Amino acid sequence: MDSSFGPLDAFAFVVFAVLIFVGVIIVVSLGKLPGQLARKWEHPQAGAINAMSWIGIATGGLLWPIAFIWAFTTQARTKSPTIKDDRQPRSAAEPDAAAIGRNARRQASGDEETRS
């Protein structure tokens, strides 16, 4: 058996090192992707999304898809929006509709009494 380190062995070593380097770059890029997207779109839980993404990568990609989907969601509002009242307050000089109706009935019944 020949145990010398030849040129083909060196080439295989370089190819293996490049593959490991590219693999690390891909894993790091995927690990930071959900956090970057969440910060870019100003997601309120961007820090939590970033942490979940890295934990997901560390656990073999188990939580990473959840973090990725979470980065695309928006938070539901916890308090109801205030309702603006566009109606103007009535002044004492402006009669309401019920008062106008009562006055009209009174005038109509008064007209009938004067006719008889």
pLDDT digits (tens, 9 = 90+) for 41-64: 999 999 999 999 999 999 988 999
Whether the model clears a pTM of 0.75, i.e. scores above it, the answer is no
Phi, psi of 81 (to 5 degrees): -70, 150
In angstroms, how far is CA 111 from the centroid of its own chain?
Answer: 67
**Contact between 44 and 71 (Cβ < 8 Å):** no
Domain coordinates of the chain in residue numbers?
33-74
